[in-house]
Amino acid sequence: MTSLSAPLNVEFDYTRSLGPVLGRFITGLRDRRIEGIRGDDGRVHVPPVEYDPVTARKLTEWVEVAAAGTVRTWTWVSEPDEGQPLTRPFAWALIQLDGADTSMLHAVDVPSPDDIRTGMRVRVRWAADPVGSMHDIACFEPGEAVEAQAGQGEAVTMVTTPVRLAYTHSASAEETRYLDGLREGRLLGQRCPVCRKVYIPPRGACPTDGVPTVDEVELPDHGTVTTFCIVNVPFLGQRIAPPYVAAYVLLDGADIAFQHLILGCDASSVRMGMRVEAVWRPREEWQQSLANIDHFEPSGEPDAPFETYSQHL
């Protein structure tokens, strides 16, 4: 059997405060000026470091360096990736700017690996529209420094870095059977061969015994509310107007509850032990998803005694 898999794209804009040292450095880049910081041994660090790497003392002496320097080492990128400085093949290099004693990493725009070498002279190509980030240096290019039109403005205090990572998320074999079951309107759990507990959704291993669960168990679509909360707070992406109830529902025959919505009654009438049944979406909308159950609603049966679910709270 082939396990289900799907693209999982993780995206987040990391917003970081720069602090006094990196803030001054990035503000400088925005204004087309490169500043380093002098360490206790006299070395000028570019990019600047906040504390001396040897003595750990806080550093404060700023030194302006040139917008040109020397390639100290390089490597070739034949297929540029998202977010990198150039979209055509380019070199990464560690570049020691004139006046600096350390090297900074950036891209060098040359047509081929034959056009770059260690020791080569390169200069900054400034971005046309600086925003206050490392990308305010568009890249480096062969040549010596030229006078730049300096800008000036508010100090840059924050930097935003968008991060986008693409994964293929795979379901386990057990989860795949469970998701395939849902598409047919079936609720498939699995029983641990050691402790006999029934898990839905099934897990790769019983959390008590650490062995794979193997026996498939079909469960009914009704059960008991074990615990719940009333959602009164609106939030981004909310599909239902509050107040509504999110509850743990223990299906009859299961040993683990899962979270779902309780609708079809006043939020204030939901209680522990309340008997509920699934309300399925129309069959033609069913997918490999628990969203096939739109919500649970009271079944009208008498409440379950506390002892029947007290071990599952």
Q: Which residue from 289, 232, 287, 235 is spatially nearest to 260, judged by alpha carbons?
A: 289
16 binds, among another protein, Zn ion, none (CB under 5 to 8 A by kind): another protein
Told to check if 107 binds another protein by CB under 8 A, we report yes
Cα separation, 265 vs 2, whole angstroms? 41
Told to check if 26 binds another protein by CB under 8 A, we report yes
Scanning the structure block, which residue is given the tokens 């600047």? 48
Q: How far is CA 258 from the centre of its chain?
A: 25
Q: Among residues 55, 60, 170, 289, which is the contact residue for another protein, using CB under 8 A?
A: 170
Told to check if 156 binds another protein by CB under 8 A, we report no
Q: Which segments of the chain are extended strands (E)?
A: 5-17, 34-38, 44-45, 62-65, 68-77, 90-97, 104-108, 121-126, 137-142, 158-170, 187-191, 198-199, 215-219, 222-231, 244-251, 258-262, 275-280, 293-298
| Contact stretch for Zn ion (CB under 5 A) within 102-110, 186-194, 229-237, 240-248 | 186-194
| Site map (CB under 8 A) of another protein, residues 126-145, x = contact | -------xxx----------
| Contact stretch for another protein (CB under 8 A) within 45-53, 240-248, 256-264, 295-303 | 45-53
Told to check if 63 binds another protein by CB under 8 A, we report no
Contacts of 221 (CB under 8 A, 6+ apart): 187, 251, 277, 278, 280, 293
CB-based burial, 76-88: b 16+ in 10 Å, e otherwise: ebeeeeeeebeee
Told to check if 208 binds Zn ion by CB under 5 A, we report yes
CB 203 within 8 A of CB 213: yes
Told to check if 257 binds Zn ion by CB under 5 A, we report no
Told to check if 82 binds another protein by CB under 8 A, we report yes
Write down the least CB distance from residue 123 to another protein, Å.
17
Helix (H, G, I), strand (E, B) or coil at 64: strand
| Contact stretch for another protein (CB under 8 A) within 71-79, 124-132, 280-288, 291-299 | 71-79
- Give the nearer residue to Zn ion in terms of CB position, either 31 or 174: 174
| Contacting positions for another protein (CB under 8 A) | 2-3, 8, 10, 14, 16, 18, 22, 25-26, 45, 47, 49, 53, 72-78, 81-85, 92-96, 102-107, 113, 118, 133-135, 159, 161, 163, 165-173, 175, 203-212
